[in-house]
Chain A
């Protein structure tokens, strides 16, 4: 039995319904990937080319010319290890923010939990991540770095990156439906965020007393976590990660509620 009622101010998140629609989530993700790879000449290679080129540029300008420290890790590996979660985050964020507007033909014609749309955009990003991850493994082999038992924590950091992208993506996608200006701010936001994240430099150059504040940017925790679990940086970024995790959980919960609340009007205004 389905009850149809006016919009409520505090709708539930509807996780159960989301679970019922998991097959749609799968098909939408699959569609995004399939279409992307069908339409491009290089296909899946794009998942590698982008981080690879950024690594080359960063290694040349920051590593070689500017002499940015890299905590004793070879600079290319140091930055590539950070670029992977960064790309995952940046890609997922951009795609999910635009996802609702891009799928407006679905939203105005069929009912399904709208959360599926930004979620599928994020999941598609994970596939690219997995492909690029193979390159990282190759590089680690090349530099002869073998991760210790910290690698077991890696899934947690991947999850944290996805959750961060999801949290910001939910806010932005819902805002984007109502205020199309948001679309223009996303590129700017991503660029700005890149420099606020220790991708090209180590977070150790930030004075210790500011580091917890620095962790308010959840991607700091993610990137440092990646380096710690994969490259075996000695000190664990525990405090940073704690702060980042708390921030993400707050952002994500807020984003979900905001999204669910706005979702009730999407079809009317998109």
Chain B
């Protein structure tokens, strides 16, 4: 089992900056050819390029189930795209032993006009299955997706749930030695997600190598044995899942996050932390701090912070002006507003913080165009068992009690 499944050596990928500019017009070519003699070569290569991956080297053994974690833009998806041969590395190389199946998106190549049956064949072929293989697994796929009745209906008439189930069903039956999975389990309802996790676990148990990318840290912990942590295109940690993920989470809570701009504000950092530990646990005393400056004078600064689930369901919110008022802010002056929460009532899982900044004097409200994720660590909340989705997101400081009442009294109550 110690045979190497994936080996990356100094993988690097360079992208041109400005993600919006996807293709060039002919006139750009003409003008750049015309300008070529006057251009200094070096500056063009250096400016406007971004290393999405830099010197990434690691080895994954056969049968390992490895999670790849990191912020947005850390290079997770780029790494998966290179390993699944969709895009080429700029430098370095990688070797993969065995067939590779990649699941970068659920339902790639599904055509709305075609029926469920037709799409299974088409999607299977696109994912690299042979026709005979699809035929053999056809019934299994249909049963997994629970779409028996609608198998000859065009998928454009499917509900989104059915669509996702069918798409994942095909993908889950890929029998490659190496499987690359990107964030696809984030779709579908809770029950189906559970089914997908179970299927993934099953796949992992069959000795196949899985590389799994997800923002859902709880899912990564659940499925994976090992983790690779990426940060700004580099591998910063690799090892046993819980240790590595804890280390990563501890790091993101103290790390300075890059500044984000809105029309009138610049947010320099958003933090949520506890005093005594790098990891946030249910019922911890936590502080949420937001540092920002106004681009012009802000006469009456305001802040609204809300906490959302990963499915963007708003759990709760806090508005600064309900508590107190903040002093006026001169242009370019940084201020910090925040809240102390005595006992964070969130069950283990990943959440996101959404920020609105305001200038009450100008009736100005601006939403910060990114969310800040944080993780409430997996700990024993009630009794020590692992809480499922049935418990929701909110933690209650509760005690259970019991008592025996005599039956005649109980009868008296009901009368």
Contact = CB atoms under 8 A, between A and B. Distances in A.
A111 B102 contact: yes
Interface in A103-130: 105-112
Nearest to B118: A34
A88 B414 CA distance: 85
A24 B133 CA distance: 13
Interface in B91-114: 91-98, 100, 102, 104-105, 108-109, 111, 113-114
B32 interface: no
A41 interface: no
B262 to A, nearest CB: 30
Contacts of B83: 4
A22 to B, nearest CB: 10
Nearest to A175: B26
B108 A106 contact: yes
B5 to A, nearest CB: 11
Nearest to A108: B86
Which range contains the number of B residues in contact with the other chain? 35 or more
A83 to B, nearest CB: 29
The list of the 3 closest CB pairs from A to B, nearest first, reads A111-B85, A27-B125, A4-B94
Given A23-B130, A111-B86, A267-B81, A179 B109 contact: no
Contact of B22 (A24, A38, A270): A270
Contacts of A3: 93-95
A268 B16 CA distance: 9
A27 B122 contact: yes
Contacts of A267: 81, 86-87
Contact of A4 (B95, B118, B125, B128): B95
8 contacts: A6-B92, A24-B125, A34-B114, A38-B113, A105-B109, A110-B127, A270-B22, A270-B23
A109 B105 contact: yes
Which range contains the number of A residues in contact with the other chain? 35 or more
B88 interface: yes
A110 B109 contact: yes
Given A38-B113, A267-B81, A112 B87 contact: no
Given A112-B128, A179-B23, A267-B86, A6 B93 contact: yes
Contacts of A35: 111, 113-114
A269 B23 contact: yes
B39 interface: no
Given A178-B24, A181-B26, A270-B22, A2 B108 contact: no
Interface of B: 15, 22-26, 29, 81-98, 100, 102, 104-105, 108-109, 111, 113-114, 118, 121-122, 125-128, 130-131
Contacts of B81: 267
A219 interface: no
Contacts of A30: 122
Interface of A: 1-7, 23-24, 26-28, 30-31, 34-35, 38-39, 105-112, 177-182, 264-265, 267-270
Given A2-B97, A4-B89, A26-B125, 7 more contacts: A5-B88, A23-B125, A27-B122, A109-B86, A110-B86, A178-B23, A179-B23
A268 B87 CA distance: 7
B15 A106 contact: no
B108 A110 contact: yes
A30 to B, nearest CB: 8
Nearest to A39: B113
B85 A2 contact: yes
A182 B27 CA distance: 12
B96 A2 contact: yes
A266 to B, nearest CB: 9
A39 to B, nearest CB: 6
A6 B86 contact: no
Given A31-B114, A111-B85, A5 B102 contact: no
Contact of A2 (B25, B100, B104): B100
Contact of A110 (B25, B104, B113, B118): B104
A181 B114 contact: no
Contacts of A23: 125, 130-131
Given A23-B130, A39-B113, A180-B23, A109 B88 contact: no
Contacts of B109: 105-106, 110
Nearest to A181: B26
A4 B93 contact: yes
Nearest to A36: B113
